[in-house]
Structure 1
Amino acid sequence: MSTNPLAALSDAGVSIWLDDLSRERLDSGNLSGLIAEQHVVGVTTNPTIFATALSKGSAYDAQVRELAARGADTDAAVREITTTDVRNACDLFRDIYTATDGVDGRVSIEVDPRLATNTEATVAEALDLAKAVDRPNLLVKIPATVEGLPAITRVLAEGISVNVTLIFSVERYRHVMEAFITGLEQARANGHDLHGLHSVASFFVSRVDSEIDKRLDALGTPAAAALRGEAAIANAVLAYAAYEETFRGERWEALAAAGARAQRPLWASTGVKDPQYSDTRYVDQLVVADTVNTMPEKTLHAVADHGKIEGDAVTGRAARAQEVFDGLVEVGIDLDDVFVALETEGVDKFEKSWAELLDTVTGQLNQAKG
């Protein structure tokens, strides 16, 4: 295994995607440098990332002035600004997309988070985004809400690749994989080339520890303290076991024979939030083939500097992971409530970021109009 941690991670079958995108990153050559030097083979975005990008610097000023001169409203301006960044990123990653036969070189854009509980509107928005970006290496992000599940199926059935986001529980993840497989079956019936369809399932990691650790601390018992920091990795290990279980058997093999590729697990929210933990733990401890780890640049550089990539850290560890979850139940953690709280919080955070993005662009448009 390579002594370069990022090279070792890539050699172990983990695709390294950057969890950030901005006009400044594209224009400055920063993203090109990360591709060339840090093994980055894809990019993910979300409303928070775009809200941050638009609120800083002057990279968007020229486009905002042009949009203001055209009389664009806020929603239209946000759509054009974000899809421009994503389209340009898709072009930047096109060689990787080609070299990996479409597995990597992917760029994600998220549907308006205000639509997270509206199936019909999510489908319409996903189709519009795919048309607006018009690049084969695009992934449209759809949240794994109850209402998002049928939208995932329907968008895949239209031949559009999907990044399923905001997955917290293994139970919901199983529903996501079912929605994916059903979507492929419908896409095949609709005459789409399954080999060109791609999907990842974004399983959020660090937020699980943040929520459960908070509840363990509130319990204040030695048994609770002993489980601190154990939940997120265990949850991801159980998710990978569910992935291995799902993508086998006659139903999947029929799709695979038609050119379909499995929906890879993607480890999201891998930046460490608790300073008591190693800043590379959600990378080091989630090394396993055929997965993606999308990380903020700070985590990327931490892994490059002192990551400990020691081969497969996930396969065969489901029994131990289940023991952790059994222990959480024994000390009094209501896991169902944890996952509902995390999903609700996730949607709310993205809605808030979207509102901030709209406010920022409104202010910039007004300023450009004088």
Structure 2
Amino acid sequence: MDKLLEMTQKFPMTRYWNDSCSIKELTYALERGAVGATTNPVIVKGVLEKELDSYKDYITQLIKDNPTESEDGIAWMVIEKMAVDGAKLLEPIFDPTIGTGRISIQTNTKYFNNAEKLIEQAVYFNTLAPNMQVKAPTTSAGIKAFEEMTYRGVSINATVSFSATQAIAVGEAVERGLKRREAEGLDNSEINPVCTIMVGRLDDWLREAAEKKNISVDPCALHYAGIACVKRAYKIYNERGYKTKMLSAAYRTPLQWLEFIGGDMIMTIPYKNQVPFNGSDFEIKARMDHEVDPYYIKELRKLPDFVKAYDEMSVEEFDTFGPVNKTLDQFAGGYDDLVKIIRKFMIKF
């Protein structure tokens, strides 16, 4: 049996999503127990590059039907189509009471500092399909937006998040939105918020930081920074009874899968990781409640950015946190590359 399917059968509370809107990859994942999908500008660009033959007629027709539309407008039509197509594939397993069968669509990265624009786009995306989940970055503006999005009935996915401190702020913002709804007698039973921690990206950032600052850290510890932040946030979520579920993303090693098995949470795993995971001989057993070795935590505390991620960081500091800015830049670059693909259809030499 494929290992991810074995995991979902042994531990149904540990759910996994396909980290892509590719129909081919999502089909593979669904056959092995996946119950959701997610996307972002970099992923959409990658899918379009790999599967352009499947989309070129659609894009050509879009341009013909919308002769005065900008390249950005066409790009967003393509982004929305990919999300809606994925939503249709997931609809048979959609259950809004537990959150299965949703696909995440990401707001415009360029709105990272504008809560009003994030909210406006999220509310619109929520109308595209009944099983939409809306991603927005965990910046100070994003935290403000998450409360309002939740209040307006949107199931949010807080992305561009790398830390327990960001995750806690997300959980609290969602609770404020839910309480406002409750005060007005609105139903919260079909709202399924999640908060992403991009485990591999935090590890990457801390590894670079250690090298740049000439700080010697046990290299094994650097594989556990993101894992430690997820486990800390998960524990706090459970203690405080947040409705938001933890979600792990940005996979680098099997540890970032194995260490979360048994948790009441979600893993969004890229296809390129699913295939080797499925073919592995790892034992599928519960590890979520296993604490990260205190020695590793001690080693990681040598790095100031780990202390921020694990222990204490204000909402205002989210906007200057290194991995936040690096990822925002990469997401914006991925969107720019996507627009360049569309431009080639619109301006032909």
Aligned match of 1:18: 18
Aligned match of 1:349: 330
Structure 2 CA distance for partners of 1:123 and 1:309, relative to 1, 3 Å? farther
Q: Distance in 1 between matches of 2:5 and 2:153?
A: 33
Aligned match of 2:313: none
Aligned match of 1:96: 93
Code of the residue aligned with 1:68 in structure 2: it is: I
Q: Distance in 1 between matches of 2:213 and 2:151?
A: 46
Q: Distance in 2 between matches of 1:345 and 1:50?
A: 19
1:76 to 73, 77, 85: 73
Aligned match of 1:163: 157
Quote how far apart the aligned CAs of 1:365 are. 2.4
Structure 2 CA distance for partners of 1:235 and 1:77, relative to 1, 3 Å? same
Aligned match of 2:315: none
Structure 2 CA distance for partners of 1:222 and 1:60, relative to 1, 3 Å? closer
Q: Which runs of 5+ in 2 are unaligned?
A: 310-317
1:296 to 265, 270, 275: 270
Q: Deviations over 1:305-353 (max 9, x none)?
A: 11524422121526x45x5333323x35443677710111111111111
1:124 to 111, 120, 127: 120
Q: Which SS does the other structure have where 1:196 is aligned?
A: coil
Aligned match of 2:306: 335
1:8-157 to 2 correspondence within 5 Å?
8-10=6-8, 11-12=10-11, 13-22=13-22, 25=23, 31-36=26-31, 38-56=32-50, 57-70=52-65, 71=67, 72-98=69-95, 101-131=97-127, 133=128, 135-157=129-151
Q: Deviations over 1:165-187 (max 9, x none)?
A: 11112112111100011111122
Structure 2 CA distance for partners of 1:211 and 1:221, relative to 1, 3 Å? closer
Q: How many residues align?
A: 334
* Structure 2 length-normalised TM: 0.88
Identity %: 21
Q: Deviations over 1:43-64 (max 9, x none)?
A: 1000101112223422211121
Q: Distance in 2 between matches of 1:226 and 1:73?
A: 49
Q: Distance in 2 between matches of 1:301 and 1:58?
A: 24
Q: Distance in 1 between matches of 2:37 and 2:237?
A: 23
Q: Say if 2:190 is the partner of 1:196.
A: yes
Q: Which SS does the other structure have where 1:64 is aligned?
A: helix
Code of the residue aligned with 2:262 in structure 1: it is: V
Q: Distance in 1 between matches of 2:138 and 2:118?
A: 11
Quote how far apart the aligned CAs of 1:210 are. 1.3
- 2:162/2:226 contact within 8 Å kept: no
Q: Deviations over 1:271-318 (max 9, x none)?
A: x1xxxxxx4221012213311110110111111111524422121526
- 1:159/1:192 contact within 8 Å kept: no
Aligned match of 2:237: 243
Q: Distance in 2 between matches of 1:309 and 1:79?
A: 42
Q: Distance in 2 between matches of 1:199 and 1:228?
A: 29
Code of the residue aligned with 1:85 in structure 2: it is: M
1:264-343 to 2 correspondence within 5 Å?
264-270=245-251, 272=252, 279-306=253-280, 308-315=282-289, 317=291, 320=293, 324-329=296-301, 331-335=302-306, 340-343=321-324
Structure 2 CA distance for partners of 1:102 and 1:218, relative to 1, 3 Å? same
* Structure 1 length-normalised TM: 0.83
Aligned match of 2:342: 361
Q: Say if 2:204 is the partner of 1:232.
A: no
Code of the residue aligned with 1:114 in structure 2: it is: K
Structure 2 CA distance for partners of 1:350 and 1:226, relative to 1, 3 Å? closer
Q: Say if 2:210 is the partner of 1:216.
A: yes
Q: Distance in 1 between matches of 2:228 and 2:98?
A: 30
Q: Distance in 2 between matches of 1:213 and 1:222?
A: 10
Q: Which SS does the other structure have where 1:286 is aligned?
A: coil
Code of the residue aligned with 2:126 in structure 1: it is: A
Structure 2 CA distance for partners of 1:269 and 1:201, relative to 1, 3 Å? same
